[in-house]
Chains A and B, each alone.
Chain A
Amino acid sequence: DAGITQSPRHKVTETGTPVTLRCHQTENHRYMYWYRQDPGHGLRLIHYSYGVKDTDKGEVSDGYSVSRSKTEDFLLTLESATSSQTSVYFCAISEGELGGNEQFFGPGTRLTVL
């Protein structure tokens, strides 16, 4: 299995509080991604990174920010959590074309915003 961990695995928080989710990889892959999974929507891209300090927005980026200060860590921050951000969040990594564009997914973080 690809070495990807996500923390925390479960979190319950209240509306208006800041939340940070962490994705950590041991594979030294260049690309890292944050997706959210909601019923009826599959997975949707929030933000992605193509290198240290290089990030860009996905299709559902409003209310989220990211940072990547090291190759191995990609942080997702909800500055002020809302109930609409209740979801399961998946991190993924990829070597891009070098790896046939295959993405490897972490185990997910279940976030509940009350």
Chain B
Amino acid sequence: GNSVTQMEGPVTLSEEAFLTINCTYTATGYPSLFWYVQYPGEGLQLLLKATKADDKGSNKGFEATYRKETTSFHLEKGSVQVSDSAVYFCALMDTGRRALTFGSGTRLQVQP
């Protein structure tokens, strides 16, 4: 079946540091890949997505590239802010059910 593996957190960074959160997946076919973000006490919001190999999703300074050869979709940001503190989820789309398979989430804490 489908699965998503994320690096365990928490990840603690100082403001303006470079961020990488690793994500790898196992899937049949050619899934779409997503990063969702969850701020404290809220539901999930879509951060970015990519639908085919070599696509790069980007939003709010975050980027991730769909790498089919390494089955990866790592999230990066060049300079994090305190407001980026949240839990980040990598996910893939099961094209049959149109449902998401999530990784376990990575908590990011950014210190001033």
Contact = CB atoms under 8 A, between A and B. Distances in A.
A31 B104 contact: no
A56 B100 contact: no
A42 B98 contact: no
A101 B98 contact: yes
A58 B102 contact: no
Interface in A45-89: 45, 48, 50, 56, 58
Contacts of A101: 32, 49, 51, 93, 98
- Which label, helix, strand, loop or mixed, suits the secondary structure of the B interface? strand
A100 B32 CA distance: 10
B59 interface: no
A45 B101 CA distance: 8
Nearest to A103: B100
B84 to A, nearest CB: 19
Contact residue range for chain A? 20 to 34
A16 B103 CA distance: 31
Interface string B38-79: 000011111001010000000000000000000000000000
Contact of B97 (A56, A92, A105): A56
Nearest to A104: B46
A32 to B, nearest CB: 11
A105 B104 contact: no
Given A42-B89, A90-B44, A108-B43, A48 B49 contact: no
A110 B44 CA distance: 15
B98 A90 contact: no
Nearest to A44: B102
Nearest to B102: A42
Closest 8 A/B residue pairs (Cβ):
A42-B102, A105-B43, A105-B44, A42-B104, A43-B102, A45-B99, A107-B43, A42-B105
